[in-house]
Amino acid sequence: MPVPQVNLVVPLYNEEQVFDQLIQRLNTVMDNSDLSIEVILIDDGSHDATPQLMEQLSYRDARYHTVFLSRNFGHQLALTAGLSVVTATDAVMVIDGDLQDPPELLPEFYNYYKEGYDVVYAVREKRKEGLLKKVAYKFFYRFMKRVSYIDIPLDSGDFSLISRRVVDQLNRMPEESRFIRGMRSWIGYKQIGV
């Protein structure tokens, strides 16, 4: 297959319940796009049927590639593993596998990329979580802003579209304890929150 323009990188940890719905939505996004897109699914040591579902899918549909980690390493390292194997020429969309990040934003994000932005990140206006987690997230981002000399955007997660050159820089960074959204800010270039 020719090299895709865009890769979607999706870490998955025990996501069997949303897997089919996730794939349906990713398929719809890919089917409605003129871009050539391939998806990299990373199993982060799931204990449920996620790895089996991934494997079956990758046999059926050549647009899906799979990475299986030897144990649970956590979201940031699962993402790191995914980013290390991308082939896209243009950009990579990083997206959670639990459907908290809508993949349908790809065309909008890609338009910003075409306008010259290297990083297009999503900013959450609302978050469907329990109160404790909501408060914890609010506090976390505001605390980080105070203590960090890097300007990490408030209420934005890893959900983003990043250009090939930013992905290459992320892959060159040797940090073992990785905070991708912070490293993404640190790299620079033109960045925009949506």
The site for ligand UDP (CB under 6 A) is made up of 11-13, 15, 44, 72, 74-75, 78, 96-98, 100, 157
Q: Nearest distance from residue 116's CB to ligand UDP, in Å?
A: 29
Q: Locate 4 and state its tokens.
A: 């895709």
Please choose which of ligand UDP, Mg ion, none residue 118 contacts, taking the beta carbon within 5 to 8 angstroms, the exact cut-off set by kind: none
Instruction: Note whether 36 and 5 are within 8 A (CB).
Output: yes
Nearest distance, CB of residue 161 and ligand UDP, angstroms: 17
Q: Is the CB of 12 or the CB of 170 nearer to ligand UDP?
A: 12
Element (H, E) at 23: helix 16-31
Q: Output the smallest distance, CB 101 to Mg ion, in A.
A: 8
Which among Mg ion, ligand UDP, none contacts residue 72 (Cβ within 5 to 8 A by kind)? ligand UDP
* The residue to which tokens 């020429």 are assigned: 89
Which does residue 61 bind out of Mg ion, ligand UDP, none, counting CB within 5 to 8 angstroms by kind?
none
Using the Cα atoms of residue 78, residue 147, residue 165 and residue 30 in order, give the sign of their dihedral: positive
Cα–Cα distance, 155 to 171 (Å, whole number): 24
Q: How far apart are CA 64 and CA 46, in angstroms?
A: 18
One of 48, 55, 90, 98 touching Mg ion (CB under 5 A): 98
For helices 164-172 and 180-187, the axis angle rounded to 10 degrees is: 110
Q: Which does 27 bind (CB under 5 to 8 A by kind): ligand UDP, Mg ion, none?
A: none
Question: Minimum Å distance from CB 192 to ligand UDP?
Answer: 21
Tokens representing 39 are: 């998806």
Of the two residues 109 and 117, which places its CB atom closer to ligand UDP in the complex? 109
- At residue 124, the 3 state secondary structure works out as coil
Residues near Mg ion (CB under 5 A): 98, 100
